[in-house]
Structure 1
Amino acid sequence: MKAKILVTLLMLCCAFAYGQKSKTKVIAHRGAWKNTSLPQNSISSLNAALRLGVFGSECDIWMTADSVLVVNHDPHFYELSVETSTYQQLLAVKHPNGESIATLDQFLDIITKQKATRLVLDIKPSKISKERSIVTAQKTYAAVEAARAKKIVDFILFDYDACLAIEKLDAKANIAYLLGDKSPEQIEKDGLWGIDYYYKLFEKNQAWVTDAKERKLTVNVWTVNEEAMLQSFIDQKVDFITTDEPEMALKMTKK
């Protein structure tokens, strides 16, 4: 009897775990900024995402002229070029709410003080050179490792060679490709974690979600902000949806 009870409990646990794994999870694109009127990629938008309780908060990483890793989406922080400016020069410019440009180290310090939300690092391809893209990726991984944050950080990149550079450092790292010019078959072959593609690419390649799942790859779709489209990808059971509307997406995934 005890053996039967144990087997039943194990089956229930497995079923619960599978259900949790198959449910689409929400990633806040550049933090929770749109409905909070906070600057994108700022410490305040990261903290807002943590308060929401999203599965992950995405941010963008660049390297300054003096090799500081900073958080910003565009190659320019307002009027200053990030890659050709020093960190001190960038500190002279402020977000509208008075915040300075954030560093990756600051984000890692915040994310490692909690366990509910992952940090998704979009390592931007350098406008200067391929070599700089790879160095930025390697330095980003080193910063994550130094912060002992590997268990709570995912890496996403547009530069495929930079993806492979991180994979070479750590074959177990969660690395997903962003550009969308590689099939799930190629991603699997190269040992990456998953595909993280713009929603229109999945509309053009409707078999990719199923193909990726069959290959045990993760599937993320970005940037999905419309309710009907959110529901469509939730129905397809993609692993993650990156959105500027995390509040709405959370409500929909909890139904």
Structure 2
Amino acid sequence: MAQQALVLSNYTFSETNTLIGTISGREPGSSFTNLKLVGPGSAMFTIDKNKKLHFKKGAKSTDAIYHDVVIEYQTQAGKFTDTLRVVKDQFIRNQVIAHRGAWKQRGTTENSIAALQHAIQLGCMGSEFDVHMSADSVLVVNHDHTVGQVPIETTPASELAQLKLSNGENLPTVEAYLKEGMKQNKTKLILEIKASKVSKERSVALARKVVQMVEGLKAQGWTDYISFDYDVCKTVMQLAPYAKVAYLNGDKSPAELASDKFFGLDYHYSVLKKNENWLQEAKKHKITVNVWTVNDKELMQWFLDRKVEFITTNEPEMLLELIK
């Protein structure tokens, strides 16, 4: 999957907030001029002199959940075109992130396509899923490093493809999972990059492969990132400066995360109960707070009362009922 030469600082748009984002070159210091919209997108979008992409005031978008914006540009090597996909922002703004999808009350399997579909049907803000890389660098969705007794990192994708989840699905690939999630624009896809058990180098390689996959599918507008591995998080931010990335491990203060330009922290509830001052510190530094994995109604309410942005739960139905 080819990566784009141009990137946006944001990949969603609305008819009321007309500024979408700034266009820049993927490679640092890359020079490009004479940006011009070509094709159908020119009827709905404009580019200003500061290389900012806008939704045209007064324009009406179609019922399509996204638009592919084709941009012509000039470099020293000649004239080129690139296509950027912008998603109509109808994403749900509640606090509910379904942990590995909505599976527990639905009698299906965590991290399955069905669990993702259920999270979307419920109206969750996000559906979290876990990503590993096979021996031959194919990305698959699973929480553990093994599927039953089969180790993902040392098994080729052809063998992993034969494995069945308990609900009868084949082990999902990340490509299939993302494509399913991109059929709608209500629920965000919260992609957790699992650190390798083999080496740090392989963890970083996985992060690179994930960003390449997301960008190759033009799934930027749907996808946010989380990881327990700080280097993985920083690799994603380096490759995709537009990405919303949150750190999971709980050993960095909000000030430290803000200094490294993280979107948010995503910590176990025990960490935030112990360091309650971090909730206010996060607001001060304008980074979001997600808390995991909260399955108790009283604890959910404790965090809702403190106005955290997101709560990751195996009980999305319970949390949705609580925030009605």
Relative to the length of structure 2, the TM-score reads 0.70
Report the AA paired with residue 92 of structure 1. Answer: Q
Distance in 2, matches of 1:28 and 1:114, equals: 16
Which residues of structure 1 form unaligned runs of 5+?
1-9, 11-22
Alignment root-mean-square deviation, CA: 1.2
Q: Which of 243, 249, 253 lines up with 2:319 in the alignment?
A: 249
TM-fit CA distance, 1:63: 0.3
- 2:275 is aligned to 205
Q: Which of 167, 170, 186 lines up with 1:116 in the alignment?
A: 186
- 2:61 is aligned to none
Does residue 257 of structure 2 align to residue 187 of structure 1? yes
Bigger CA radius of gyration:
2
- Name the SS of the counterpart of 1:209 in structure 2: helix
TM-fit CA distance, 1:24: 5.1
Aligned ranges for residues 126-141 of structure 1 at < 5 Å? 126-141=196-211
The Cα offsets for residues 181-223 of structure 1, whole Å up to 9 and x where unpaired, read as 1110110011111100000000110101110011110110000
Relative to the length of structure 1, the TM-score reads 0.89
The Cα offsets for residues 228-249 of structure 1, whole Å up to 9 and x where unpaired, read as 0000001111000000000010
- Name the SS of the counterpart of 1:151 in structure 2: coil
Distance in 2, matches of 1:188 and 1:217, equals: 7
Distance in 2, matches of 1:122 and 1:182, equals: 18
Higher relative contact order (CA 8 A, sep 6+): 1
- 1:101 is aligned to 171
Query: Which structure carries more helix by proportion?
Result: 1
Which residues of structure 2 form unaligned runs of 5+?
1-15, 17-92
Q: 2:190–2:223: 8 Å Cα contact kept in structure 1?
A: yes
Distance in 2, matches of 1:153 and 1:190, equals: 20
Report the AA paired with residue 262 of structure 2. Answer: L
Q: Which of 119, 126, 150 lines up with 2:220 in the alignment?
A: 150
Query: Which structure carries more strand by proportion?
Result: 2
TM-fit CA distance, 1:79: 1.5
Q: 1:24–1:238: 8 Å Cα contact kept in structure 2?
A: no
Q: 1:24–1:241: 8 Å Cα contact kept in structure 2?
A: no
- Name the SS of the counterpart of 1:93 in structure 2: coil
Distance in 2, matches of 1:156 and 1:127, equals: 17
Aligned ranges for residues 1-255 of structure 1 at < 5 Å? 25-254=95-324
Q: 1:156–1:176: 8 Å Cα contact kept in structure 2?
A: yes
Percent of aligned pairs sharing the same letter: 47
Distance in 2, matches of 1:88 and 1:94, equals: 13
Q: 2:129–2:191: 8 Å Cα contact kept in structure 1?
A: yes
Number of corresponding residues: 233
Distance in 1, matches of 2:238 and 2:294, equals: 31
Q: 2:94–2:125: 8 Å Cα contact kept in structure 1?
A: no
The Cα offsets for residues 78-136 of structure 1, whole Å up to 9 and x where unpaired, read as 11001111111112321122111001101110111100000000100000000111111
- Name the SS of the counterpart of 1:102 in structure 2: coil
Distance 1:109 1:24, change over 3 A: closer
